Structures are given as C-alpha cells and as structure tokens.
Amino acid sequence: MTIINKDKCVGCKTCVKYCTVDAIHYIPEEKKCFVDPAVCAECYVCVRKKVCPKDAMETQELTNFYKQFQHVMSDPMENYGVTGVTGRGTEEVKTNDVTGRVKKGYAGFSIDMGRPGIGVYLRDAEKVAMAMAAAGLVFESPEKTPLSALMTDIKTGKINDDCLDYHLLSVIIEGNCTLDKMTDVFKALQKVEKEIDTVFSVGLILRVDENGEAPALKELDKLGIPQPHRGKVNVGLGRPLCAL
C-alpha cells in the first residue's frame, strides 16, 4: 500500500501533480501530504519514479488479494503472478490472429474502462459488465481474462461484493456475442454510460466476409455511432485456427 512518511514529508506538494488518479492531497493544517487509500490505485508511479525529493513515498506489503489485484491491474511494470494472465485482458484481445476466439457470426467486445487521471472503481465495472451480459454478451473465462476471475456469476457479470470499492487505473471487460445481439449490447453500453463515474472506450472485433467487408458495421449508423476510423486489420497468418 502506498503511503507518505510524515517524518520525511516537508509538504512541498511535488508528489501531488504526479498522481495518476488524484489520490494525493495536501493538508494545510499539518503542512504535510497524504495518500487517500480509498482513491489510490496502487500504480506505484510516485514510488517507482522517485518523485519525492525527500524520499517520503513508501509502500507497505499488500497482504489482501484484492489489493494485490488492484496493483497488478494498475502497474504495467508488475508481473502477473497474482492473476495468472498477462496484462489486463486476454493474450491477444485486439488481434484475434492466433486463437481465433471471435468466430464467424460473432462480434467481440473489449471495453477498456478508466485511464490515467480518472481510474475506475470495480463497482462501475460491474455495472457495465452486468448491462452487457443482460444484452447477450458472454464473457471470456477466468483463465483468460482477470476481471472474470472476480465474478461470482460469469453469466450475469456480478462481481464479488468485497472488491467493489477498489479503485484501479484501468480494467478490461471482454466477451463476445452473436451478431444478432451486437446492437443490443451497444444499446446497453449507451444506457449504462450515463450511470457510471468514469470513462470507457469500446473495442469491436469482427470477421470480414469473402469480399473483405464487415456488413455488421452498418448497424453502428442506426445507433448514431461513428464508424471506426482506426483499427487493426488481421490477415490471418497466426495459425490455422484463425480460419475457423
């Protein structure tokens, strides 16, 4: 857990501007800074970059599993021993080249929640996950993506109540649905975005047809969602699985 050693802190406020989620505050009465544990994402940027000129930024051992999970999801320099999965999502969530996990007739979704400057509470991640599940999204298994490992019911997207108040730098919600459910999932996202206190970006994974087209993209026009102007094109050179 990130803390500020009050004996070393001189209240210079240098650390405040480096915090990725505005969790460090200055106390005028004490002329000291402190880390709000309810907001801190345990990204360790302030510690790793040694931003304090007096070396007052310190960490304490993370004995709680959820605190360890919080740290691994927020610190890109951390290994994945706690989650068993590299990164915040599946091995190749944005390419589909090797595993071919998004097959013909399906749409894959990768919802990247939070970012430096705002972060994401798991309670908001749960709201988005449950809204998508109700619309027809099927989540990736706990063995493939970290967030699913926190779900008490992978069919509904319900996350363990014990970790809902944990604040992460970012987290990814992953899954897929049949093409006929894609519009419903987007509508669910449009509705739930007004109910959360963070931001998210939507990654849409589709298979092209024999002509190199993705007709399902036309559904975005009906929803008032701009057609994607940047993305990753996969030509299928990973392994034979990609042709399924």
Domain residue extents for the chain: 2-61, 106-243
Supply the pLDDT for residue 239: 59
Supply the pLDDT for residue 155: 97
Supply the pLDDT for residue 244: 45
Supply the pLDDT for residue 163: 95
Supply the pLDDT for residue 103: 87
Written as tens digits, the pLDDT of the chain (244 aa) is 999 999 999 999 999 999 999 999 999 999 999 999 999 999 999 999 999 999 999 999 998 899 999 998 898 777 677 777 766 776 655 566 667 778 889 999 999 999 878 999 999 999 999 999 999 999 988 888 889 999 999 999 999 999 999 999 999 999 999 999 999 999 999 999 999 999 999 989 888 888 888 899 999 999 999 887 777 777 666 655 444 4
Supply the pLDDT for residue 86: 65
pLDDT tens, position by position, 30-66: 999 999 999 999 999 999 999 999 999 999 999 889 9
Distance between CA atoms of 160 and 123, rounded to whole angstroms?
10
CATH class of 2-61: alpha beta
Q: What global pTM score does this model have?
A: 0.88
